Amino acid sequence: MPILKLHLENVGPFDALELDFTDGKGNAHLGPHILTGVNGSGKTTVLKAIAACLAEPLDSQAVIAGRSSADHGFDEETWLRLLKGRSNSSTEVLLGPTETAGSRIKVVDSDQHWVQSLMETEIYEASPVSEAEMTEADWEGLDEQREEHEALIADQVRDIWDLGCVATYSPQPRLRWLAELSFQQDTYLRKGWLSFDSTIDNRRLQDYWVDCFSREALSQRAKTPKAPSSVDAIRKAVKAIFTGSALSAQEAEPTVTLDGRTRPALLFGGMELDFSQLPSGVNATLSWVVDYLMRRDAFRWRDEQSSRAKPGVILIDEIETHLHPQWQRRILNGIRAAFPNTQIIVTTHSPFVVTSCEDARVHMLQVDKKGRAFIAETIERPDGTSVDATIHGVFGIKGRFGPEVEDLLTEWNELKKRDHFGKLNAKEKSRLRSLVKKIASRGEELAAMVHEPVLSDELLEELLSATGPIPKRR
């Protein structure tokens, strides 16, 4: 049951925002959904707003159960700072297979606290008198309201469960070599999945990696029938994202070292690399890919059908971080191949990411003169648009060269147009000659643009012999 829509009011840079994550016809769409726009247009705010909606019912359920909060890891304090100065803020997500069969989770700002549980809000706002003045009928009414609210929270938590395995990431190189692994069995895999910056735990991830290979080795030794394993999932994801790029000399292959102590490693570029030797882009991407696989393995699926399909949602902020353009062009298709039933929502500043995936929907965010963000356009199938056209149309960059060169070309073009009509004085003609030399010195492509075409004597004679002498003007 994917995310269908997000509605925001008075959140961050948005006065109001309606984002459509369907296929444009009200049906679920797994994406990738790509959020792009200038800094300050609210791309990260959108991801955090989705996480805030998923966190609220879990926090309310924790309160009902007598705990202070859930273990989802959402950074509530930072979220509240984002809302400072805003009033009547609300965020709402619509979940479901279609709009008509969807369910809503809505969090509304109160005077005291953004994530004050709905139970507390409803109970205390509905009490017109103090506890000492309340009658038995008043208490019975509150009990009924509490039961209704608990049922609502239970439904919302079930809806979140139906999303499948959900996790949020801000890609950074999180992996490093460890002298010792712990192999502790704990509840980490059910914690921190909405924390973005700290979703990944290096030690737990390496424990998982080695454990997967150990179980595969034991299965091979026992000669048990081959079934898809966690190692197969890791191999599939690594191959989909990193193999076939011109940047690697051979296929990327996950493995383990056996030099006295079993350690995770990656065969990459003809070398076996431990996690401290990985290139930053590989490290940053491998971190969240394997973390998601680990969480998906530990997820308690609602039924057998969900267990086979393994649905989920991945939110990734600035997915291109540390990646060469070659890999930026491959990353979304790689994720789609690795996680075919997972909804993918990402932010990016990369035209290579935007144009990389056939089934993507690009949501363009812009900022008006007052600093308020809004959705400008949603683009279908952006892979049919060139990178040059995307740089111009999506990112609003009109020049092909560096800013200084563009300024020189603009001045040259204006003088050249006036020169064509004989309107330059001696000083301006001198400036035009100077610009031609300066621009041409920056490279062959620029030289070809600003120099007058010159025909060689041989070519000129050949043309004259074929066409005859050029008649003189009267």
Q: Report if residue 474 sits inside a domain.
A: no
**Can you give the pLDDT at residue 119?**
39
Beta 165-169 vs 90-95: how paired, if at all?
unpaired
pLDDT at 211 over 80: yes
Question: Are both 7 and 149 inside the same structural domain?
Answer: yes
pLDDT digits (tens, 9 = 90+) for 141-180: 666 666 666 777 777 777 777 888 999 999 888 888 887 7
Question: Are both 126 and 214 inside the same structural domain?
Answer: no
Q: Report if residue 229 sits inside a domain.
A: yes
Dihedral of alpha carbons 410, 413, 419, 420, sign: negative
pLDDT band at 102 (very low <50, low <70, confident <90, very high): low
Q: Report if residue 177 sits inside a domain.
A: no
Q: Report if residue 178 sits inside a domain.
A: no
Question: Are both 144 and 272 inside the same structural domain?
Answer: no
Dihedral in degrees, nearest 10, Cα atoms 221, 223, 228, 234: 20
Question: Are both 80 and 115 inside the same structural domain?
Answer: yes
Structural domains of the chain, count? 3
Question: Are both 91 and 116 inside the same structural domain?
Answer: yes
pLDDT band at 463 (very low <50, low <70, confident <90, very high): low
Mean pLDDT throughout 217-244?
76
Question: Are both 425 and 378 inside the same structural domain?
Answer: no
Q: Report if residue 65 sits inside a domain.
A: yes
Percent of the chain past pLDDT 90, that is, above it, reads: 20
pLDDT band at 375 (very low <50, low <70, confident <90, very high): very high
Could you give the angle at which helices 403-420 and 426-440 cross, rounded to 10 degrees?
A: 140
Q: Which two tokens stand for residue 154?
A: 């239970």
Question: Are both 82 and 222 inside the same structural domain?
Answer: no
Q: Report if residue 472 sits inside a domain.
A: no
Segment among 67-81, 252-266, 341-355, 459-473 with least mean pLDDT: 459-473
Question: Are both 130 and 42 inside the same structural domain?
Answer: yes
Mean pLDDT throughout 395-417?
83
Question: Are both 192 and 249 inside the same structural domain?
Answer: yes
| The 103-108 sheet, strands edge to edge | 103-108, 90-95, 3-11, 14-20, 373-380, 361-367, 33-37, 342-347, 312-316, 165-169
Return mean pLDDT, the chain: 80
**Can you give the pLDDT at residue 411?**
87
Which string of b and e fits 78-105 if b means at least 16 CB within 10 Å? ebeebbeeeeebbbbbbbbeeeeebbeb
Cβ distance 311 to 192 under 8 Å?
no
**Can you give the pLDDT at residue 125?**
44
Cβ distance 275 to 176 under 8 Å?
yes
pLDDT at 111 over 50: no
pLDDT at 121 over 50: no
Mean pLDDT throughout 62-89?
77
| Domain membership of residue 265 as a residue range | 188-300
Instruction: Report the amino acid identity of residue 222.
Output: A
pLDDT at 191 over 60: yes
Mean pLDDT throughout 176-194?
71
Looking at 72-113, list the stretches that DSSP marks H as alpha helix, in order from N- to C-terminal side: 76-83
pTM of the model: 0.80
H/E element, 394: none
Q: Report if residue 398 sits inside a domain.
A: no
pLDDT at 333 over 60: yes
Cβ distance 33 to 23 under 8 Å?
no
Selected residue with higher pLDDT from 437 and 247: 437
Q: Which two tokens stand for residue 447?
A: 């030289």
Q: Report if residue 252 sits inside a domain.
A: yes
Tell me how far apart the alpha carbons of residues 388 and 206 are, in angstroms, rounded to a whole number: 41
**Can you give the pLDDT at residue 112?**
40
**Can you give the pLDDT at residue 35?**
95
Q: Give the domain-ending residue among 393, 411, 432.
A: 393
pLDDT digits (tens, 9 = 90+) for 263-296: 888 888 788 888 899 889 889 999 999 999 989 9
Q: Give the domain-ending residue among 340, 371, 393.
A: 393
Q: Give the domain-ending residue among 300, 319, 345.
A: 300
H/E element, 92: strand 90-95
Which string of b and e fits 290-319 if b means at least 16 CB within 10 Å? bbbbbbbbebebeeeebeeebbbbbbbbbb
pLDDT band at 262 (very low <50, low <70, confident <90, very high): confident
Cβ distance 11 to 18 under 8 Å?
no
**Can you give the pLDDT at residue 226?**
58
Question: Are both 422 and 290 inside the same structural domain?
Answer: no
pLDDT digits (tens, 9 = 90+) for 122-144: 444 444 445 556 666 765 666 66
pLDDT band at 185 (very low <50, low <70, confident <90, very high): low
pLDDT at 394 over 80: no
pLDDT at 239 over 70: yes
CATH of the domain at 387: 3.40.50.300
Question: Are both 16 and 149 inside the same structural domain?
Answer: yes
| Cα–Cα nearest to 348, from 336, 333, 368, 332 | 332
Cβ neighbour number for residue 156 with a 10 Å cutoff: 23
**Can you give the pLDDT at residue 115?**
39
Dihedral in degrees, nearest 10, Cα atoms 340, 345, 346, 351: 70
C-alpha triplet 18, 23, 27: angle, nearest 5°: 95
Question: Are both 457 and 416 inside the same structural domain?
Answer: yes
Tell me how far apart the alpha carbons of residues 31 and 26 are, in angstroms, rounded to a whole number: 14
